[in-house]
Structure 1
Protein backbone atom coordinates (compact mmCIF):
# COMPACT_ATOMS: atom_id res chain seq x y z
CA UNK A 1 0.00 0.00 0.00
CA UNK A 2 1.22 3.49 -0.91
CA UNK A 3 -0.01 6.59 0.88
CA UNK A 4 -0.33 9.85 -1.08
CA UNK A 5 -1.20 12.78 1.19
CA UNK A 6 -2.36 16.17 -0.06
CA UNK A 7 -2.04 18.90 2.56
CA UNK A 8 -4.54 21.68 3.16
CA UNK A 9 -7.26 22.89 5.48
CA UNK A 10 -10.76 21.36 5.43
CA UNK A 11 -13.93 23.27 4.56
CA UNK A 12 -15.25 25.45 1.75
CA UNK A 13 -13.71 28.56 3.30
CA UNK A 14 -10.21 27.30 2.48
CA UNK A 15 -10.93 25.31 -0.68
CA UNK A 16 -9.23 27.74 -3.13
CA UNK A 17 -6.45 28.90 -0.80
CA UNK A 18 -2.85 28.69 -1.98
CA UNK A 19 -2.20 26.62 1.17
CA UNK A 20 -4.62 24.00 -0.18
CA UNK A 21 -2.77 23.14 -3.40
CA UNK A 22 -2.01 19.72 -1.89
CA UNK A 23 -5.73 19.02 -1.49
CA UNK A 24 -6.25 20.17 -5.08
CA UNK A 25 -3.61 17.73 -6.35
CA UNK A 26 -5.19 14.85 -4.40
CA UNK A 27 -8.61 15.74 -5.81
CA UNK A 28 -7.23 15.80 -9.36
CA UNK A 29 -5.60 12.38 -8.95
CA UNK A 30 -8.92 11.08 -7.58
CA UNK A 31 -10.83 12.46 -10.58
CA UNK A 32 -8.34 11.19 -13.14
CA UNK A 33 -8.22 7.57 -11.95
CA UNK A 34 -11.57 5.78 -11.99
CA UNK A 35 -10.46 2.95 -9.68
CA UNK A 36 -10.77 5.18 -6.62
CA UNK A 37 -13.76 4.83 -4.32
CA UNK A 38 -15.69 7.93 -3.20
CA UNK A 39 -14.06 9.96 -0.44
CA UNK A 40 -14.98 8.85 3.08
CA UNK A 41 -14.07 9.88 6.62
CA UNK A 42 -11.43 7.71 8.27
CA UNK A 43 -8.16 8.21 10.17
CA UNK A 44 -9.15 11.81 10.97
CA UNK A 45 -9.07 12.47 7.24
CA UNK A 46 -10.92 12.15 3.96
CA UNK A 47 -9.53 9.03 2.29
CA UNK A 48 -10.08 7.00 -0.85
CA UNK A 49 -8.59 3.64 -1.82
CA UNK A 50 -7.83 2.64 -5.39
CA UNK A 51 -5.15 1.53 -7.81
CA UNK A 52 -2.79 3.60 -9.91
CA UNK A 53 -0.98 1.37 -12.36
CA UNK A 54 0.01 -1.74 -10.46
CA UNK A 55 0.09 -0.05 -7.05
CA UNK A 56 -2.61 -0.02 -4.41
CA UNK A 57 -2.91 3.56 -3.14
CA UNK A 58 -4.61 5.33 -0.27
CA UNK A 59 -5.28 8.98 -1.09
CA UNK A 60 -5.60 11.22 1.95
CA UNK A 61 -6.70 14.77 2.79
CA UNK A 62 -6.29 15.27 6.58
CA UNK A 63 -9.30 16.79 8.32
CA UNK A 64 -7.29 17.96 11.32
CA UNK A 65 -6.23 21.32 9.86
CA UNK A 66 -2.73 21.85 8.58
CA UNK A 67 -0.79 22.01 11.84
CA UNK A 68 -2.10 18.59 13.01
CA UNK A 69 -1.74 16.71 9.70
CA UNK A 70 0.65 14.18 11.24
CA UNK A 71 -2.08 12.65 13.39
CA UNK A 72 -4.01 11.42 10.35
CA UNK A 73 -0.91 10.27 8.49
CA UNK A 74 0.45 8.37 11.50
CA UNK A 75 -2.87 6.63 12.18
CA UNK A 76 -3.22 5.39 8.59
CA UNK A 77 0.40 4.22 8.50
CA UNK A 78 0.02 2.19 11.65
CA UNK A 79 -3.20 0.57 10.42
CA UNK A 80 -1.79 -0.47 7.03
CA UNK A 81 1.79 -1.00 8.28
CA UNK A 82 3.08 1.52 5.74
CA UNK A 83 6.74 2.55 5.86
CA UNK A 84 7.74 6.23 5.62
CA UNK A 85 9.39 5.69 2.21
CA UNK A 86 5.97 4.61 0.89
CA UNK A 87 4.45 7.96 1.87
CA UNK A 88 4.39 10.93 -0.49
CA UNK A 89 3.23 14.29 0.83
CA UNK A 90 2.10 16.99 -1.64
CA UNK A 91 2.17 20.55 -0.32
CA UNK A 92 2.65 24.26 -1.10
CA UNK A 93 6.13 25.78 -1.23
CA UNK A 94 6.65 29.52 -0.75
CA UNK A 95 10.28 29.38 -1.86
CA UNK A 96 9.46 28.09 -5.35
CA UNK A 97 7.93 30.27 -8.08
CA UNK A 98 4.39 29.43 -9.22
CA UNK A 99 4.21 26.41 -11.56
CA UNK A 100 7.60 25.08 -10.37
CA UNK A 101 7.97 21.88 -8.37
CA UNK A 102 10.59 19.77 -6.61
CA UNK A 103 10.70 16.12 -5.58
CA UNK A 104 12.83 15.04 -2.64
CA UNK A 105 13.01 12.45 0.12
CA UNK A 106 13.74 13.44 3.69
CA UNK A 107 14.96 16.78 4.98
CA UNK A 108 13.59 19.42 7.29
CA UNK A 109 10.14 20.99 7.37
CA UNK A 110 11.27 24.44 6.21
CA UNK A 111 8.79 26.16 8.51
CA UNK A 112 5.78 24.42 6.94
CA UNK A 113 3.38 23.52 9.75
CA UNK A 114 1.97 20.49 7.94
CA UNK A 115 5.42 18.98 7.46
CA UNK A 116 6.40 19.87 11.01
CA UNK A 117 3.46 17.83 12.31
CA UNK A 118 4.05 14.87 9.98
CA UNK A 119 7.75 14.73 10.85
CA UNK A 120 6.89 14.74 14.55
CA UNK A 121 4.69 11.67 14.05
CA UNK A 122 6.59 9.57 11.48
CA UNK A 123 10.11 10.96 11.18
CA UNK A 124 11.77 12.71 8.22
CA UNK A 125 12.28 9.94 5.67
CA UNK A 126 9.03 10.33 3.72
CA UNK A 127 8.86 11.64 0.15
CA UNK A 128 7.76 15.18 -0.67
CA UNK A 129 6.32 16.81 -3.78
CA UNK A 130 6.70 20.57 -3.29
CA UNK A 131 4.49 22.76 -5.47
CA UNK A 132 5.57 26.37 -5.86
CA UNK A 133 3.11 29.14 -5.06
CA UNK A 134 5.58 32.03 -4.94
CA UNK A 135 6.37 34.38 -2.06
CA UNK A 136 4.62 37.69 -1.29
CA UNK A 137 8.01 39.33 -0.70
CA UNK A 138 7.60 40.18 2.98
CA UNK A 139 7.42 37.78 5.95
CA UNK A 140 4.61 39.81 7.46
CA UNK A 141 2.44 39.09 4.43
CA UNK A 142 2.96 35.33 4.34
CA UNK A 143 -0.01 34.28 6.50
CA UNK A 144 -2.56 36.28 4.51
CA UNK A 145 -0.92 35.21 1.28
CA UNK A 146 -1.03 31.45 1.83
CA UNK A 147 -4.56 31.67 3.25
CA UNK A 148 -5.65 33.79 0.30
CA UNK A 149 -7.28 32.33 -2.78
CA UNK A 150 -5.52 31.75 -6.05
CA UNK A 151 -6.27 34.51 -8.55
CA UNK A 152 -8.24 33.69 -11.71
CA UNK A 153 -5.10 34.27 -13.77
CA UNK A 154 -3.32 31.52 -11.80
CA UNK A 155 -5.49 28.96 -13.57
CA UNK A 156 -3.19 29.32 -16.59
CA UNK A 157 -0.42 27.46 -14.77
CA UNK A 158 -2.28 25.78 -11.89
CA UNK A 159 -4.63 23.63 -13.96
CA UNK A 160 -1.91 22.24 -16.27
CA UNK A 161 0.26 21.48 -13.25
CA UNK A 162 -2.48 19.56 -11.45
CA UNK A 163 -3.42 17.66 -14.62
CA UNK A 164 0.20 16.68 -15.23
CA UNK A 165 0.55 15.38 -11.66
CA UNK A 166 -2.56 13.22 -12.13
CA UNK A 167 -1.46 12.03 -15.58
CA UNK A 168 1.87 10.75 -14.26
CA UNK A 169 0.69 9.62 -10.83
CA UNK A 170 1.51 5.98 -11.68
CA UNK A 171 5.21 6.85 -11.47
CA UNK A 172 4.62 8.68 -8.19
CA UNK A 173 2.76 5.66 -6.77
CA UNK A 174 5.52 3.32 -7.91
CA UNK A 175 8.16 5.39 -6.12
CA UNK A 176 9.87 6.32 -9.38
CA UNK A 177 10.41 9.91 -8.37
CA UNK A 178 13.11 10.80 -10.91
CA UNK A 179 11.02 9.51 -13.80
CA UNK A 180 7.97 11.28 -12.43
CA UNK A 181 9.88 14.57 -12.19
CA UNK A 182 11.17 14.19 -15.76
CA UNK A 183 7.70 13.49 -17.15
CA UNK A 184 6.21 16.39 -15.22
CA UNK A 185 8.91 18.74 -16.48
CA UNK A 186 8.29 17.71 -20.10
CA UNK A 187 4.53 18.10 -19.69
CA UNK A 188 4.91 21.63 -18.37
CA UNK A 189 7.58 22.77 -20.85
CA UNK A 190 6.72 24.58 -24.10
CA UNK A 191 6.49 22.35 -27.15
CA UNK A 192 10.06 21.62 -28.16
CA UNK A 193 9.08 19.52 -31.16
CA UNK A 194 8.74 22.48 -33.45
CA UNK A 195 12.22 23.15 -34.72
CA UNK A 196 13.04 26.21 -36.75
CA UNK A 197 13.14 25.64 -40.51
CA UNK A 198 16.03 27.04 -42.58
CA UNK A 199 15.35 30.47 -44.03
CA UNK A 200 13.66 30.19 -47.38
CA UNK A 201 12.12 26.76 -46.75
CA UNK A 202 8.39 26.21 -46.98
CA UNK A 203 7.84 26.52 -43.21
CA UNK A 204 10.67 28.92 -42.47
CA UNK A 205 10.60 32.63 -41.88
CA UNK A 206 12.51 35.38 -43.64
CA UNK A 207 13.31 35.88 -47.29
CA UNK A 208 14.58 33.01 -49.43
CA UNK A 209 18.26 32.99 -50.15
CA UNK A 210 19.08 34.27 -53.62
CA UNK A 211 21.07 31.89 -55.82
CA UNK A 212 24.62 33.01 -56.45
CA UNK A 213 24.87 34.95 -59.66
CA UNK A 214 27.12 33.46 -62.31
CA UNK A 215 29.73 35.68 -63.87
CA UNK A 216 29.12 36.30 -67.54
CA UNK A 217 32.73 37.30 -68.05
CA UNK A 218 34.90 34.68 -66.31
CA UNK A 219 33.94 31.12 -65.43
CA UNK A 220 36.16 28.24 -64.50
CA UNK A 221 37.68 26.57 -67.56
CA UNK A 222 36.62 29.32 -69.97
CA UNK A 223 38.73 31.89 -71.84
CA UNK A 224 36.98 35.27 -71.47
CA UNK A 225 37.81 36.07 -75.09
CA UNK A 226 36.08 32.95 -76.34
CA UNK A 227 32.77 34.85 -76.47
CA UNK A 228 34.19 37.82 -78.47
CA UNK A 229 33.35 38.51 -82.11
CA UNK A 230 35.82 36.84 -84.43
CA UNK A 231 36.60 39.90 -86.60
CA UNK A 232 35.97 43.59 -87.08
CA UNK A 233 37.00 46.82 -85.32
CA UNK A 234 35.04 46.01 -82.15
CA UNK A 235 36.80 42.64 -81.90
CA UNK A 236 40.22 44.22 -82.27
CA UNK A 237 39.47 46.85 -79.59
CA UNK A 238 38.17 44.32 -77.08
CA UNK A 239 41.15 42.05 -77.60
CA UNK A 240 43.48 44.95 -76.83
CA UNK A 241 41.51 45.82 -73.65
CA UNK A 242 41.63 42.22 -72.44
CA UNK A 243 45.28 41.79 -73.38
CA UNK A 244 44.49 38.69 -75.45
CA UNK A 245 45.26 39.17 -79.12
CA UNK A 246 45.49 35.46 -79.94
CA UNK A 247 42.01 34.43 -78.67
CA UNK A 248 40.91 33.38 -82.07
Structure 2
Protein backbone atom coordinates (compact mmCIF):
# COMPACT_ATOMS: atom_id res chain seq x y z
CA UNK A 1 0.00 0.00 0.00
CA UNK A 2 1.39 3.38 -1.03
CA UNK A 3 1.93 5.78 1.89
CA UNK A 4 1.88 9.59 1.96
CA UNK A 5 2.67 12.13 4.65
CA UNK A 6 0.49 15.23 4.44
CA UNK A 7 1.63 17.95 6.84
CA UNK A 8 -0.55 20.93 7.64
CA UNK A 9 1.48 23.80 9.04
CA UNK A 10 0.15 25.89 11.90
CA UNK A 11 0.61 26.85 15.52
CA UNK A 12 -0.90 24.98 18.45
CA UNK A 13 -3.19 26.75 20.89
CA UNK A 14 -6.70 28.18 20.74
CA UNK A 15 -5.39 31.72 20.14
CA UNK A 16 -4.07 30.60 16.72
CA UNK A 17 -6.95 28.31 15.75
CA UNK A 18 -8.70 30.53 13.21
CA UNK A 19 -5.72 32.52 11.94
CA UNK A 20 -4.44 32.73 8.38
CA UNK A 21 -1.13 31.14 9.42
CA UNK A 22 -3.03 28.00 10.51
CA UNK A 23 -4.57 27.17 7.14
CA UNK A 24 -2.59 23.90 7.06
CA UNK A 25 -4.29 22.74 10.26
CA UNK A 26 -7.65 23.97 8.97
CA UNK A 27 -7.38 21.95 5.72
CA UNK A 28 -6.50 18.74 7.60
CA UNK A 29 -9.28 19.35 10.16
CA UNK A 30 -11.74 19.75 7.27
CA UNK A 31 -10.65 16.45 5.70
CA UNK A 32 -10.85 14.70 9.08
CA UNK A 33 -14.36 16.07 9.72
CA UNK A 34 -15.56 14.97 6.26
CA UNK A 35 -14.24 11.45 6.77
CA UNK A 36 -15.05 11.04 10.48
CA UNK A 37 -11.39 10.86 11.50
CA UNK A 38 -10.01 11.82 14.91
CA UNK A 39 -6.55 13.24 15.52
CA UNK A 40 -4.58 11.81 18.41
CA UNK A 41 -1.55 13.36 20.06
CA UNK A 42 1.62 11.55 19.06
CA UNK A 43 5.29 12.45 19.15
CA UNK A 44 5.83 15.99 17.79
CA UNK A 45 2.24 16.43 16.63
CA UNK A 46 -1.37 15.36 16.25
CA UNK A 47 -1.91 12.64 13.69
CA UNK A 48 -4.61 10.58 12.05
CA UNK A 49 -4.61 8.04 9.23
CA UNK A 50 -6.86 8.27 6.20
CA UNK A 51 -7.20 5.34 3.79
CA UNK A 52 -8.49 6.13 0.31
CA UNK A 53 -8.41 4.10 -2.93
CA UNK A 54 -5.65 1.78 -1.72
CA UNK A 55 -3.52 4.64 -0.40
CA UNK A 56 -2.65 5.55 3.18
CA UNK A 57 -2.44 9.23 4.06
CA UNK A 58 -0.78 10.10 7.36
CA UNK A 59 -2.17 13.51 8.27
CA UNK A 60 0.13 15.44 10.62
CA UNK A 61 -0.37 18.72 12.47
CA UNK A 62 3.03 19.41 14.09
CA UNK A 63 3.00 20.51 17.73
CA UNK A 64 6.42 22.14 17.41
CA UNK A 65 5.02 25.56 16.45
CA UNK A 66 5.43 26.87 12.93
CA UNK A 67 9.11 27.83 13.08
CA UNK A 68 10.24 24.33 14.13
CA UNK A 69 7.97 22.28 11.83
CA UNK A 70 10.91 20.54 10.16
CA UNK A 71 11.69 18.45 13.23
CA UNK A 72 8.25 16.80 13.13
CA UNK A 73 8.37 16.37 9.34
CA UNK A 74 11.78 14.69 9.44
CA UNK A 75 10.85 12.44 12.38
CA UNK A 76 7.66 11.10 10.77
CA UNK A 77 9.25 10.71 7.33
CA UNK A 78 12.01 8.58 8.86
CA UNK A 79 9.73 6.58 11.17
CA UNK A 80 7.18 5.79 8.46
CA UNK A 81 9.77 5.49 5.67
CA UNK A 82 8.07 8.15 3.55
CA UNK A 83 9.84 8.96 0.28
CA UNK A 84 10.35 12.71 -0.29
CA UNK A 85 8.08 12.60 -3.36
CA UNK A 86 5.25 11.33 -1.11
CA UNK A 87 5.45 14.34 1.23
CA UNK A 88 2.98 17.21 0.85
CA UNK A 89 3.30 20.31 3.07
CA UNK A 90 0.30 22.64 3.30
CA UNK A 91 1.18 26.25 4.04
CA UNK A 92 -0.18 29.78 3.89
CA UNK A 93 1.18 32.07 1.19
CA UNK A 94 1.06 35.88 1.28
CA UNK A 95 2.05 36.12 -2.39
CA UNK A 96 -1.20 34.55 -3.60
CA UNK A 97 -4.69 36.10 -3.44
CA UNK A 98 -7.04 34.56 -0.89
CA UNK A 99 -8.04 30.99 -1.73
CA UNK A 100 -5.68 30.61 -4.68
CA UNK A 101 -4.10 27.15 -4.69
CA UNK A 102 -0.65 26.28 -6.02
CA UNK A 103 1.33 23.08 -5.83
CA UNK A 104 5.10 23.17 -6.33
CA UNK A 105 7.76 20.48 -6.13
CA UNK A 106 10.64 22.69 -5.06
CA UNK A 107 11.67 26.25 -4.47
CA UNK A 108 12.76 28.76 -1.89
CA UNK A 109 11.10 29.14 1.47
CA UNK A 110 9.83 32.56 0.35
CA UNK A 111 10.56 33.96 3.80
CA UNK A 112 8.19 31.46 5.45
CA UNK A 113 9.81 30.26 8.67
CA UNK A 114 8.00 26.91 8.69
CA UNK A 115 9.27 26.09 5.19
CA UNK A 116 12.72 27.40 6.10
CA UNK A 117 12.94 24.91 8.98
CA UNK A 118 11.64 22.01 6.89
CA UNK A 119 14.24 22.78 4.23
CA UNK A 120 16.99 22.89 6.87
CA UNK A 121 15.86 19.64 8.52
CA UNK A 122 15.50 17.76 5.22
CA UNK A 123 18.68 19.26 3.78
CA UNK A 124 16.79 19.94 0.56
CA UNK A 125 14.34 22.35 -1.02
CA UNK A 126 12.90 19.55 -3.17
CA UNK A 127 9.62 18.56 -1.53
CA UNK A 128 6.00 19.12 -2.47
CA UNK A 129 4.27 22.24 -1.17
CA UNK A 130 0.58 23.02 -1.33
CA UNK A 131 0.40 26.79 -1.01
CA UNK A 132 -2.94 28.28 0.02
CA UNK A 133 -3.19 31.99 -0.76
CA UNK A 134 -4.05 34.23 2.17
CA UNK A 135 -3.55 37.52 0.32
CA UNK A 136 -1.46 40.45 1.44
CA UNK A 137 -3.99 43.01 2.60
CA UNK A 138 -1.80 44.61 5.25
CA UNK A 139 0.17 47.80 5.76
CA UNK A 140 3.95 47.79 5.51
CA UNK A 141 5.47 46.23 8.61
CA UNK A 142 2.20 44.54 9.67
CA UNK A 143 2.82 41.13 8.07
CA UNK A 144 3.01 39.22 11.38
CA UNK A 145 -0.25 40.76 12.61
CA UNK A 146 -1.89 39.86 9.31
CA UNK A 147 -0.90 36.18 9.21
CA UNK A 148 -1.70 35.79 12.90
CA UNK A 149 -5.00 37.61 12.37
CA UNK A 150 -8.32 35.88 11.87
CA UNK A 151 -10.14 35.52 8.55
CA UNK A 152 -12.44 38.38 7.59
CA UNK A 153 -16.16 37.87 6.86
CA UNK A 154 -15.67 37.69 3.07
CA UNK A 155 -12.95 35.05 3.43
CA UNK A 156 -15.06 33.06 5.90
CA UNK A 157 -17.98 33.07 3.44
CA UNK A 158 -15.77 31.49 0.75
CA UNK A 159 -13.86 29.15 3.06
CA UNK A 160 -15.93 25.95 2.80
CA UNK A 161 -15.64 25.81 -0.98
CA UNK A 162 -11.88 26.45 -0.77
CA UNK A 163 -11.48 23.76 1.92
CA UNK A 164 -13.49 21.26 -0.15
CA UNK A 165 -11.19 22.04 -3.10
CA UNK A 166 -8.15 21.56 -0.86
CA UNK A 167 -9.36 18.14 0.28
CA UNK A 168 -9.89 17.13 -3.36
CA UNK A 169 -6.31 18.22 -4.08
CA UNK A 170 -4.92 15.98 -1.31
CA UNK A 171 -6.85 12.97 -2.63
CA UNK A 172 -5.63 13.72 -6.17
CA UNK A 173 -2.03 13.99 -4.97
CA UNK A 174 -2.16 10.41 -3.69
CA UNK A 175 -4.19 8.87 -6.50
CA UNK A 176 -3.62 10.83 -9.73
CA UNK A 177 -0.01 11.85 -9.11
CA UNK A 178 1.69 15.18 -8.74
CA UNK A 179 1.72 16.27 -12.42
CA UNK A 180 -2.01 15.63 -12.86
CA UNK A 181 -2.75 17.35 -9.55
CA UNK A 182 -0.74 20.42 -10.58
CA UNK A 183 -2.55 20.59 -13.94
CA UNK A 184 -5.96 20.26 -12.29
CA UNK A 185 -5.59 22.51 -9.25
CA UNK A 186 -2.92 25.15 -9.86
CA UNK A 187 -4.40 28.62 -10.27
CA UNK A 188 -7.87 27.54 -9.15
Larger relative contact order (C-alpha < 8 A, sep ≥ 6)? Answer: 2
TM (norm. structure 2) is: 0.91
Residue 110 (structure 1) aligns with: 110
TM-score by length of 1: 0.70
**Aligned residue in 1 for 2:12:** 10
Write the mapping of 1:72-221 to structure 2, written as runs, cut at 5 A.
72-122=72-122, 123-174=124-175, 176-184=177-185
Structure 1: stretches of 5+ with no match in the other structure: 189-248
Residue by residue, what CA displacement relative to the aligned partner does 1:203-243 show, whole Å, maximum 9, x if unpaired? xxxxxxxxxxxxxxxxxxxxxxxxxxxxxxxxxxxxxxxxx
Residue 126 of structure 1 aligns to a residue whose secondary structure is: strand
Q: CA deviation at 1:157?
A: 2.3
Note if contact 2:138-2:146 (Cα within 8 Å) is conserved in structure 1: no
Deviation at 1:178, TM superposition (A): 3.6
Aligned to 1:23: 25
SS for the counterpart of 1:24 is helix
Tell me by how many angstroms 1:33 deviates: 2.7
The 1:46–1:175 alpha-carbon spacing in structure 2 relative to 1, beyond 3 Å, is: farther
Gaps of 5+ in 2: none
**CA distance change for structure 1 residues 31 and 84 in 2, over 3 Å: closer, same or farther?**
same
1:14-93 equivalences in 2 (<5 Å): 14-34=16-36, 36=37, 38-93=38-93
Q: Which has a greater percent of strand?
A: 2
Q: How many aligned residue pairs are there?
A: 185
